[in-house]
Amino acid sequence: MITYRKLWIRLAEREMPKMELAQKAGISTATLAKLGKNEYVALSVLESICLALGCDIGDVVEVLPDAQKTPNQENDSV
């Protein structure tokens, strides 16, 4: 399972609103919504986010075993 929890923590530490990230990274609100739901996004989106934040992909994305899924994510399929 993919989670973007690290991204949200990084934004909170910088006191950067999600919309500011979207503007800096050139991503849409629909993409922000996907990120908020831990859905898959294109690697180019993650690259844009990393460049906007000056960080590495491992600083914004985390891969968790399926056993750590939250109840809302148990019904998600790939």
Q: Is residue 8 part of a domain?
A: yes
Q: Is residue 22 part of a domain?
A: yes
How many domains does the chain fold into? 1
Q: Is residue 73 part of a domain?
A: no
Residue 44 has phi, psi (to 5 degrees) of: -65, -30
Q: Is residue 52 part of a domain?
A: yes
Judge whether 6 and 62 are in contact, CB under 8 Å: yes
Query: In terms of residue numbers, what domain contains 54?
Result: 2-68
Mean pLDDT to the nearest integer, 16-45: 96
pLDDT of 40-75, one tens digit each? Answer: 999 999 999 999 999 999 999 999 987 655 555 554
Mean pLDDT, the chain, whole residue set: 89
pLDDT at 13 over 90: yes
Residue 62 has phi, psi (to 5 degrees) of: -135, 140
Mean pLDDT to the nearest integer, 24-34: 96
Domain containing residue 60: CATH number: 1.10.260.40
pLDDT of residue 66: 79
Q: Which residue has the tokens 């600083």?
A: 59
